[in-house]
Structure 1
Amino acid sequence: MALTITLLNSAHLRGRCCRHKVLHPLLGPLFSDSMAKLFSSYRRPGSQPEKKPSWQNTDFSFKKGIDVLKTQLSMLKKETKDYLIGPGGHPFNQYLLEQTRVVWEFRSQEDLNKWVISSDVEIGGKSEVYLKLGRNNQAALLYGTLNTEVPRDGETKYSGYCSMRAKPPVGSFARKKYYDWSNFNSLYLRVRGDGRPWMVNIYTDPYFSHQKDDLYNYFMFTRGGPYWEEIKIPFSKFFLSSRGRVQDNQHPIWLDKISTLGFTIGDKVDGPFQLEIDFIGLLNDRAHTEEFAYETYEKNPQI
């Protein structure tokens, strides 16, 4: 117990310090909610800040820390074993010949727990979004109501969006992991919508902190009706944007640093919406030879 107190005192769990990350892999489950509130960047206009630091409400437990340590060590063991076998835990010859891969499918509640949903409620809006299993537990059903009414806080100018995003992969001891899709050139989905357009978002790992809002987008148009549709989107079609604005300096996706993928609806049409997703996969289409669909500019042109 004395050792635990010494470690906690040395970590200085205060809002202005980031050294708590040293203990986060072991004690993350104990104060993850508190840290999320402590380092949240958004606060509603006019709301009062919390006077009492959220970490003071945390119940530290040495036993839970030991259990988490055992779990992280077992994850590290599995990762090491997979690394020795080959890329993604598959033999190298199988990896080179792979033509298709299913990344996400929806057959149980555990599959849904890998995703998070959000809406403009975070900024004071009134849109609603829900996620559940579809009929016969064979798909994910994303549904809700879009409301473009702007919150009356004197600062927000636009509202009306709902989104669904996969949780980023995390390795042992809270290390960042990424998807390596460099062996494929297209995104392949089987969906059934209501005729409304969606935006497909791909998040990559930024090299610099000012690029944390960068993501790659492309449109997905659903035709509605009772029939499923299979949609293929080449990665060369995705364009770079930041905070909703298309960037002048375009470049292809770094397919070896994929963080996560998501869907957003914000077509400025009030009313209900729904989208069923059977699976999300990857495809290596040998007939598609386009490297990038948009113009690129040379920053230092030679005269």
Structure 2
Amino acid sequence: MSRFRSLLQASVNATKKALTWNVEEWVPPAEKHIFKFHSKEDLKKWHLYSDSEYGGLSSASLEIPDKEDGSDCTGIFSGNLSVDLSEGSKWNISRSGFCGMRSKKFDGFIDLDGYDAIALRLRGDGRCYISTIYTENWVNSPGQAEDNSWQAFVFAPKDSWYTAKASPTTSIDIPLARYLPTWRGNVIDVEMEMNPGRVLGMSLSVNAEGGAVGAKSGAGDFRVEIDWIKALRLP
């Protein structure tokens, strides 16, 4: 009888262990690094764009400074926003004054299934930036053959890393539910759901006008330091 109980207990323990392994494999880690900005190699994964491609006069750069004191390096996205057009421009654009940085195409997808939010660690200039997620166009929208794009505003506090939770390492957390479907920068009124398992890339951009109430706006210089971008599972 004792031998039978031992075999039964061993079987129960083995089953519990197997179930634990399966749960651990199914539940993703609490956070997942998507992009980091700690070296020049990290910056090669991004490209810049601005209204200058359409006759505007805005400019942008993405750099990482060399620090002799050995402190951690972070990427700096900066430039100048202009609402003017170059003389003799052949383009008829409805608005200028925008710059952005977008991740380059890569093989495969970023799988964010199981995650609830995007986190960015930023130190900004008081402007409002736009975080964009590009997903595979699995829902055919009228007249839209490009990737689906989803956008949310990001306020970058001036001269300090974001410290909403009184911690110098706390980031700006944006629930995925706050990202709205857009078409060429405008929110569209369609029934769509993001497919977080098929993320094709991301971008961070800034406009001269618009954004959160109280945020800095208008033409002029912009500058934001970016440490990393992660996906989070919220409690």
TM-score bin (small chain): 0.7 to 0.9
Q: Which residue of 2 aligns with 1:82?
A: none
> In structure 2, what is the equivalent of residue 42 of structure 1?
none
* Aligned counterpart for 2:83 among listed residues 136, 148, 166: 148
Q: How does 1:224-235 map to 2 (within 5 A)?
A: 224-229=158-163, 230-235=171-176
Tell me the residue number matched to 1:34: none
Residues in 1 aligned to 2:225 and 2:93: alpha-carbon distance in whole angstroms: 31
- Candidates 205, 217, 222, aligned match of 1:264: 205
Are 1:159 and 2:96 an aligned pair? yes
State how far apart, in whole Å, the 2-side matches of 1:182 and 1:134 are. 34
Give the drift of 1:97: 4.4
Question: How far off its partner does 1:94 sit?
Answer: 4.6
Aligned to 1:49: none
Q: Please report how far the alpha carbon of residue 120 of structure 1 lies from its aligned counterpart in structure 2 after TM superposition.
A: 0.9
Alignment of 1:1-150 (within 5 A): 93-94=24-25, 96-134=27-65, 136=67, 138-150=73-85
Map Cα deviations across residues 141-161 of structure 1 (whole Å, 9 max, x no partner).
001000011344362231111
Within the alignment, does 1:219 sit opposite 2:160 as a pair? no
Bigger helix fraction: 1
The number of aligned residues is: 190
Offset, 1:134: 3.9
Question: Structure 1: where are the runs of 5+ without partners?
Answer: 1-90, 171-176, 287-303
TM-score when normalising by structure 1: 0.58
Paired with 1:234 and 1:211, the residues of 2 have a C-alpha distance of: 26
- The structure whose residues are more often strand, as a share, is 2
Q: Which amino acid is the alignment partner of residue 283 of structure 1? A: L
Which stretches in structure 2 are left out of the alignment for 5+ residues? 1-21, 164-170, 210-217
Q: CA deviation at 1:192?
A: 0.3
1:205 alignment partner in structure 2: 136
